[in-house]
Amino acid sequence: MALEQIKIEFSPDNMRAYLQIEQPPEGTAWPTYEQILTKIKEEGLIFGLKEQILHRVLEEKSLKSTLIAEGIYPIKGEDADLKFYFETDRIRLIPKELEDGRVDHRELSLVQNVQKGQVLVEKKPATLGVAGRNVKGEEIKATPGKDLTLVLGKNVAWDNNRIIATCDGEPSMIGRKIAIQVVHEVKENVGYNTSNIDFVGCVHIRGDVENGFTVKAAGDVVISGNVEGGFISAEGSITINGGIIGQDKSVINCKGDLYARYIDHAKVNVEGEIKVRDAIIHSYINCGRKVILGTKKGLIMGGVVRAGELIEAQFLGSKMGTQTEVEVGINPSFRLEMNELEKRLPELERELDMAEKALTILNRQGYELSPEREEMKAKLTRTSFVLKAERRKLETRRDEIMEQLNERQIERGYIKIRQTIYPGVKVIIGKAVRIFKDEFNFAVLAYDEGEVSIQPYR
């Protein structure tokens, strides 16, 4: 049989090859396997041959066009993928659910905090894919997967296929640019639209802090408006361009300094200095160093103001005899801590007494105690040990504070009044106390041999 009767046809893309054998003339032998292989070689078919099918065609003496070879199609590369470890879609953030099933709309977690070294994004790189080959042995290149790129902004870096934060802050993503912001800016009031703010950096609020809302920052807090019954806490300083309208609700805590236009009916605890332009009215103030009011109104009226070193104001009290208490010479934090110690120590004594009495009763019962009572005895013994250790620790701390307070009596804390001290004002400097019954003008108050002395203001 002539090779011309063996037909090899290829698909347009050369990915398939077909064999068709024409009916041999009568008396002519059917083609052999070797003849078919010779024809295949002549036609350039060198890859993907299905030898079992060839044998079957010969066995069945099939005249049909039969698929005898297939190439391998290329495998497209996988596209790159990004896994984000922070919420990029703020709409998906929901209110915090409370234990009773209610939700707190003040807690929307709109501020996301990350720490230095934290992974922000993990990238799964695109793959090149796997090349294919047609039945003529020609390589078919694979289409590589699509890459995804991110633009690095401030305070982020690549670490292999991860983007990490190089400082504490808030992750942001604008378009394809990712960065860490060290200042969280709120361009409106802190209220139900923003929820509470709790940030690992500094916070700048362009509006007010509304009643019942909280702002916490590991850095400074700057508020362009007022604090209206809100709660502010900062590891740094706090600047309030407006005032604190406390409504007997606001609590302000900071480890740096506090600057405000006025403070009205609020509780304030500051480790540094407090500088107020206009007035402190009916507020409870604890300041580690100095409380200084401006030279215009400069009024302290009502409430309690304590400072470690200095209180300086234009006016102290009011013509109406408003009860006003001011104290210098002792860091208020010592006094507050002492109050807590004096409250806790009697509680400890009661708890320890109850444990000791119960142990005494069990010990009187001898050595033959039930397993339950043995367990109770062991628990009471541990409780007694822990309570005694806590008592020793608190008593030591109490003695340390007392020593510091006594030493500070000889230090000169001052109260400087540039205009008038009104009747009804109570002044405490160290252990000296004086209640003013008459007006005094241009006075400097100091500690002098157990008394509050009055010296002229210069």
Mean pLDDT, 10 residues at a time, the chain of 458 residues = 80 94 82 89 93 90 92 96 85 56 61 90 95 96 94 93 93 89 92 90 94 94 95 96 94 96 97 96 96 91 95 96 92 82 91 89 77 84 90 90 67 88 94 92 91 90
The pLDDT score that the predictor gives to residue 2 is 59
* Residue 101, pLDDT score: 59
pLDDT at 168: 92
Mutual orientation of helices 51-60 and 33-42 as an angle, nearest 10°? 130
Q: What is the pLDDT of residue 94?
A: 54
Q: What confidence score (pLDDT) does residue 411 get?
A: 57
CA distances from 220 to 152, 169, 225 (A): 26, 13, 16
- How confident is the model over 369-405, as pLDDT tens digits? 788 888 888 888 899 899 999 999 999 998 888 877 7
pLDDT, averaged across the chain: 89
Task: Output the pLDDT for position 239.
Answer: 96
* pTM of the entire predicted model: 0.69
